[in-house]
Amino acid sequence: MEFVLIGAGQRGMIYSQYAHGKGHAITAVAEKDAVKREIARKELDIPAERCFADAADLLAQPKLGDAAIIATMDRDHFGQAIPAMEKGYHLLLEKPISPVPEEVLAIEEKARETERLVVVCHVLRYSPFFREIKKQLDSGAVGRIVTVQHNENIGNFHIAHSFVRGNWRRSDTASPLIMQKSCHDLDLLVWLVGSGCRQVASFGGLAYFKAENAPQGAAMRCADCPLRDTCRFSAYKAYLPVMGNWPATVLTENQTEEGLREAIRTGPYGRCVFHCDNNVCDHQATVLEFDNGVTATFNLSGFTNRIARTLKIMGEDGELRANEYTNEIEIIRFAANGVDRCESRVIHPELTASGHGGGDAGIVEDFLALLEGRQAEAASDIRYSVESHMMACAAEEARLTGTVVRIADFRRRHGGTRP
Ligand SMILES: NC(=O)c1ccc[n+]([C@@H]2O[C@H](COP(=O)([O-])OP(=O)(O)OC[C@H]3O[C@@H](n4cnc5c(N)ncnc54)[C@H](O)[C@@H]3O)[C@@H](O)[C@H]2O)c1
């Protein structure tokens, strides 16, 4: 297969390197940053004349491959996905499809109209961990699902990196937190529960990462701060010890101590976490009711130590507890009383080296199988992904307006014609 890559950043390179490593060609790249463009050219063996400084330049060419990998920032996807499909490309499209509900629905509609295959990068559907949970639920391990408690534990240093200092700190330039971080979680809920969502309520906000919580004497940047040896958010503590690895790799291509110190001195990741221009939530609690009657609570929080999802799925006959960090899925069947031993077992799904617990490799494999006609549909086809995006947008509306939002009404108000 032949791919063109639009956006050779963190995500775009992961998918492209995987496909390239499996013998598929990356025939062209569009990347704004000259250093990243050159890295992509070299690592992916792309002819120099097919390296473009902007997606629009690549999309102005005749069709250069079978499919486009679109991995630019959230608000760029719409303006690139529509012309790419019109040009004839199938799409591996990063999530969120778009933070704007009308654009989400328009991309889905364009895929249908042009008969393009569009797989949205809900990589968790492909991780052995979540696949095992799905398999257990479908085989009736806990009986019919009644209610779910789901936590997305963002991790304290991770929220400071990505959602306070980083690319996704503002809902107007990127996406609201529930869309950016948790279209994945809402997609998992739809998939695991096996139903679309009926209605949603949501509460939360920005509790901590704001000026009023800055310690006395804190400077605007870590480089100038007298507290930098004691503050746990010091950029020197966050990035220097992990040089060469995420998240230090996000700061600069120059992964030397000198390069990182310079990025901390001058770049966005050296700003005080209490003095950034962030406006996305640092905690958000959402309540959902699904069309099949299942209820769920979803807690999205930056105030956790680990970066891992934890779930409790409660069914008529038992409960399933899952902890992504310990890679444990515990299934307990209810006993008749409080004395008898419950039937219980613990599963440790296969661990893989690929990112997102194997999901990054899994989604590319699925997309390849689809393109090569080895399978009829993808687990993360855009038709399925639209539901989680409507839920995320509706949850944000519910949070901002203090209302309960019905998903069908929300879809209609934003131009959706399908139920
Ligand atoms: N599936 C997941 O689990 C997951 C995880 C993280 C991020 N993401 C999503 O992936 C997308 C990219 O995130 P990232 O971390 O790779 O960001 P990134 O900043 O590393 O990469 C985006 C790249 O797009 C380039 N770019 C921007 N505008 C361009 C244009 N007009 N033409 C060509 N190139 C352009 C930028 O220079 C940058 O290199 C985001 O939408 C993000 O939400 C998904």
Q: What is the pLDDT along the chain (419 residues), one digit of tens a residue?
A: 999 999 999 999 999 999 999 999 999 999 999 999 999 999 999 999 999 999 999 999 999 999 999 999 999 999 999 999 999 999 999 999 999 999 999 999 999 999 999 999 999 999 999 999 999 999 999 999 999 999 999 999 999 999 999 999 999 999 999 999 999 999 999 999 999 999 999 999 999 999 999 999 999 999 999 999 999 999 999 999 999 999 999 999 999 999 999 999 999 999 999 999 999 999 999 999 999 999 999 999 999 999 999 999 999 999 999 999 999 999 999 999 989 889 999 999 998 887 888 899 999 999 999 999 999 999 999 999 999 999 999 999 999 999 999 999 999 999 876 54
| Predicted pLDDT at 290 | 98
| Domain range annotation of the chain | 2-123, 125-209+279-354+381-413, 216-270
Give the span between the Cα atoms of 410 and 393, in whole angstroms: 9
Instruction: Domain 2-123: give its CATH code.
Output: 3.40.50.720
| Predicted pLDDT at 417 | 66
Calculate how far, in angstroms, residue 8's C-alpha sits from the geometric centre of ligand 1: 7
* Ligand 1 contacts CB of residue 36 (under 6 A): yes
Give the span between the Cα atoms of 120 and 172, in whole angstroms: 22
| Predicted pLDDT at 415 | 85
| CATH 3.50.4.10 holds for 125-209+279-354+381-413 | no
| Predicted pLDDT at 251 | 97
* Ligand 1 contacts CB of residue 121 (under 6 A): yes
Look up residue 279 and give its two tokens. 């406006």
The reported pTM is 0.96
* Ligand 1 contacts CB of residue 10 (under 6 A): yes
DSSP 338-382: SSSPPEEEEE-PPP-SSTGGGHHHHHHHHHHHHHTTSSS--TTBH
Q: Whose CA is nearest to atom 34 of ligand 1?
A: 31
Task: Please report the atom of ligand 1 found closest to the CA of residue 52.
Answer: 33
Partners of 90 in beta bridges: 67
Calculate how far, in angstroms, residue 305's C-alpha sits from the geometric centre of ligand 1: 26
| Predicted pLDDT at 229 | 95
69 class by beta-carbon count within 10 Å (0-12 exposed, 13-18 middle, 19+ buried): buried
* Ligand 1 contacts CB of residue 253 (under 6 A): no
Partners of 302 in beta bridges: none
* Ligand 1 contacts CB of residue 131 (under 6 A): no
Q: Ligand 1, from 18, 43, 54, 94: best to mutate by most atoms within 8 Å of Cβ?
A: 94
